[in-house]
Amino acid sequence: MLVVTPNPCFDRTLWVDHFEAGAVARPYRVAVTAGGKGVNVLRTALDLGHAARLVLLLPREEGAELAGLLADEGIEVLDVPAEGRVRSATIVLEDSGRASVLNEPGACVGEADLDRLLERLTTAVSPGEVVLCSGSLPPGLPDDAYGRVVDVARSAEAVVVVDGARTALARAVEHGPDVVCPNLHEAEGLLSGAVLEPADDAPPAQVRDRALAAAARLHGEGVAHAIVTAGGAGAALVDGEGERWFDAHRVDVVNPIGAGDSFASALGAAHESGHGWPEAVRRAVATAGAAVQTPTAGRVDAGHVEALLAGVEEVAS
């Protein structure tokens, strides 16, 4: 599996009893790790025993430090040097399980950087391999960057999964990726033009209906297999075989950050291992459940995934 993530970062995670905007907080634990959605995808793949490589733009300032952190985790990187400084994401985790995230935009890059990234991808991708686009785009990269990745991967007869955000996802859909897997708020934001991502306290049945409706609309726009995740509720899949809902196993949340990345990782890994998309979604739901029970984003216990798998039920709509 090749994971394309143009906007990596340092994750600075702070643990606090309680966090309130405008007040002084005193973290009792701090951890700095390599970050970005694609990095979380790689962590999950490695924990599942699945081979994967990371294709990224690596800013020159602090790039060596980030590369060192990735190497320490055994993550294979196909880096494309770029100007600028590595961005940071600050994650505040409260004892209640609530998370607050401040995402910096990233180094300003341009068309030439995208061209070099696509060249690197062209030489690396193999027929039948899953190419997974993950995360935000840095400033200066065109909105259709993931759409161009779709074109390159398709030319190589690879399978393309896009887990991007907002405009990047919308422009990728225009190129007809094999799979998209946004969360419910991302999907509804894409389809309605909404810009906020509020907490979702809707009843489970309503969440299921909304996720299925969003997936159906994405499928109608040309996505062969449209998946919409809905946190602890489960995930919807709509494709040429119909509509399906996958109920998630209820778990205690330790760190919710990166659950969607673990979902995408398991989805791609399962497909490369020969599973059809419904079974791949079922395995992805179980993997996301295992991911939120670990303190580090993207890490999972493979044994725990298998245990949760038994509780993930497919429901035909």
> By percentage, how much of the chain surpasses pLDDT 90?
81
Residue 316 has pLDDT above 70, yes or no: no
Q: What is the pLDDT of residues 278-295, one digit of tens each?
A: 999 999 999 999 999 988
- Nearest residue to 35 via CA among 65, 2, 80: 65
- Nearest residue to 41 via CA among 77, 93, 68: 77
Bridge partners (DSSP) listed for residue 103: 89
DSSP state of 248: P
Q: What is the mean pLDDT of the chain?
A: 92
The token pair that represents 222 in the structure block: 């040309």
For residue 197, the model assigns a pLDDT of 45
Dihedral sign computed on CA atoms, order 18, 19, 24, 27: positive
In the chain, what are the domains? Answer: 2-316 (3.40.1190.20)
Residue 83 has pLDDT above 80, yes or no: yes
- Nearest residue to 35 via CA among 74, 107, 97, 86: 86
Q: Is the pTM of this model over 0.85?
A: yes
Q: What is the pLDDT of residues 245-304, one digit of tens each?
A: 999 878 888 888 889 999 999 999 999 999 999 999 999 999 999 999 988 888 999 999
Q: What is the pLDDT of residues 143-184, one digit of tens each?
A: 999 999 999 999 999 999 999 888 999 999 999 999 999 999
Exposure string of 177-212, with b = 16+ CB inside 10 Å and e = fewer, is bbbbbbbbbbbbbbeeeeeeeeeeeeeeeebbebbb
Beta-carbon count within 10 A of 64 CB = 10
Q: What is the pLDDT of residues 52-75, one digit of tens each?
A: 999 999 999 999 999 999 999 999
Average pLDDT over residues 37-48: 96
Residue with tokens 């984003």: 297
For residue 301, the model assigns a pLDDT of 92
Distance, in Å, from the CA atom of 153 to the CA atom of 130, rounded to the nearest integer, reads: 9
DSSP state of 119: H
Residue 115 has pLDDT above 70, yes or no: yes
